[in-house]
Amino acid sequence: MDLAYVASGKLEGFFEYNLSPWDVAGGVFLVQQAGGVVTDFSGGDNYLHGGELCAGGNIHAEMLKVVQEKWF
C-alpha cells in the first residue's frame, strides 16, 4: 500500500528492508509507471530480491543519500 501511495503522490517516498519479492513486485510496477524511481539501498536494481527498497519521485536521490548514511 505504501508504494501505491508513492505512485499516486500521497507519499513523497518510501523505504523498507527485510522484504520479499511478493511484498514489492506490484507496488514497484505502480511507482515506475507513475514515473518514480525504485532502487535498492546502494542505488542499484536489486530491489526485488535484495530485501531492501527505496522508492520516490523527485526526492529519491536525497532520500537514498540519507538511507545510505544510516545503513552503510
- Domain boundaries of the chain, sorted by first residue: 2-71
DSSP-derived letter for residue 72 is -
Give per-10-residue mean pLDDT for the chain (72 aa).
97 96 96 98 96 96 95 76
- Give the per-residue pLDDT at 6: 98
Q: What is the C-alpha to C-alpha distance for residues 5 and 36, in angstroms, rounded to an integer? A: 11
- Give the per-residue pLDDT at 72: 73
- Name the residue with cell 514515473: 35
Considering the four listed CATH numbers 3.40.50.300, 3.40.630.10, 3.40.190.80, 3.40.50.2300, the one that applies to the domain covering 2-71 is 3.40.190.80
Q: What is the C-alpha to C-alpha distance for residues 14 and 55, in angstroms, rounded to an integer? A: 5
User: Model-level pTM?
Assistant: 0.92
- Give the per-residue pLDDT at 71: 80
Q: Give the per-residue SS3 of 3-68.
A: HHHHHHCCCCEEEEECCCHHHHHHHHHHHHHCCCEEECCCCCCCCCCCCEEEEECCCHHHHHHHHH
- Give the per-residue pLDDT at 41: 96
